[in-house]
A = this chain, B = another copy of it.
Amino acid sequence: MGGDNAPAMVVDGLALALKARPELRFRLYGDQAKIKTLLTRHSDLASKCEVVHTDDVITNDAKPAVALRGGRNSSMRLAVNAVGDGQAQAVVSAGNTGALMAIAKFVLKTLPGIDRPAISTSFPSQRGDTVMLDLGANIECDADNLVQFAVMGEVFARHILGLEKPSIGLLNVGSEDIKGREAVRQAAAILKSSPLPIRFHGFVEGDDIGAGTVDVVVTDGFTGNIALKTAEGTVKLLAQALRDAINGSWRGKIGAWMAKPALMAFRRRMDPRRYNGALLVGLNGICIKSHGGTDAVGFANAVRVAADLIRRDFNERIKEDLERLISGPRLEPPVAAAS
């Protein structure tokens, strides 16, 4: 029931996802009458869906704590419960992000060694895809949180991007050691001196995200959310400016017609729907957040992300990796940096 055009967008998205991954089966939580009506348009999909009725929906403006206490029978809560009970292998929601995080954290619990889960996704850069976290779950982060994000991002990039030894960068306002906030500087000191077998690059700046300087960009949820949305806004601005320029002259229009296949390829590569579906990483279970404003194509992509993570047995992989990475000596900053 989450997202701007739910449940129609969700049902249409599942139909698209099923075409790409015929092995999938779905449990849908929400208004049974509405959903059943929508399913009549997709005969193949209907047979793969079980619909569980509930009237209770968590609205977009609900505070996480209220959603957690009061929404015990909500569609979001029941869907997360299904993963907790083992009835489903992953949950995908386009609803209220804060509520989803609070409910998933309560029901699924965090993985050993992780204090706070983070929102993570991959998007295009000049040198292949880049993983970034946290994209909005944790507004304030200390050095330990950032170090844990680095470790989770490393595991995510290894399994999702298929990189053997992904490089990790901490987002900052400069590359020198003296730059930035205390938490960021202390996290860098911990990562530099730690015995973790991860490849820590050091600080990166905002333009390194698009440049693909590192495979994993680590930051707090406030900065990460603003960076992600600034990039989205910049893509829209440029697309609009390009359209304006092309449509402003007959030469532009003819050229664009000629170059149409190339422009379509460019558009596909940069289509934000292709990158829809962020993982709430650090939970004991796969929980995917779809953009609320996406359409069926975007929602299908979020489902694909969930399906990929299930197929790669990501939840077991990250548990093993975290145990290996974190269960060793407790990570402490070196004395000089802690002073």
- Interfacial residues, chain A to chain B (CB-CB below 8 A): 61, 63, 124-126, 136, 139-140, 171, 173, 176, 178, 180-181, 205-211, 219, 221-223, 225-238, 240-242, 244-246, 248-249, 251-252, 254-263, 265-266, 269-270
Contact residues in B for A242 (Cβ distance below 8 Å):
242, 266
| Given known A222-B173, A257-B255, contact A206–B181 (CB-CB < 8 A) | no
Give the residues in chain B near A219, CB-CB below 8 Å: 226
Complex contact A230–B227 (CB within 8 A): yes
> Smallest Cβ distance from A249 to chain B, in angstroms?
6
**Copies of this chain:** 2
Looking across the interface, which residue of chain B has its beta carbon closest to that of A255? B259
Residue of B nearest to A242 (CB): B266
Give the chain B neighbours of A269 by CB distance below 8 A: 241, 245
Contact for A241 among B246, B251, B270, CB less than 8 A: B270
Q: How far is the CB of A223 from chain B (nearest CB, A)?
A: 6
Alpha-carbon gap, A120 to B263, bound state (A): 35
Whether A181 pairs with B139 at a CB distance below 8 angstroms is yes
Q: Point out the residues of chain B lying under 8 angstroms from A173, CB to CB.
A: 136, 139, 221-222, 225-226
Bound-state CA distance A178–B99 (Å) is 13
Q: Knowing A254-B259, A258-B251, A261-B251 are in contact, say whether A235-B238 is a contact too (CB < 8 A).
A: yes
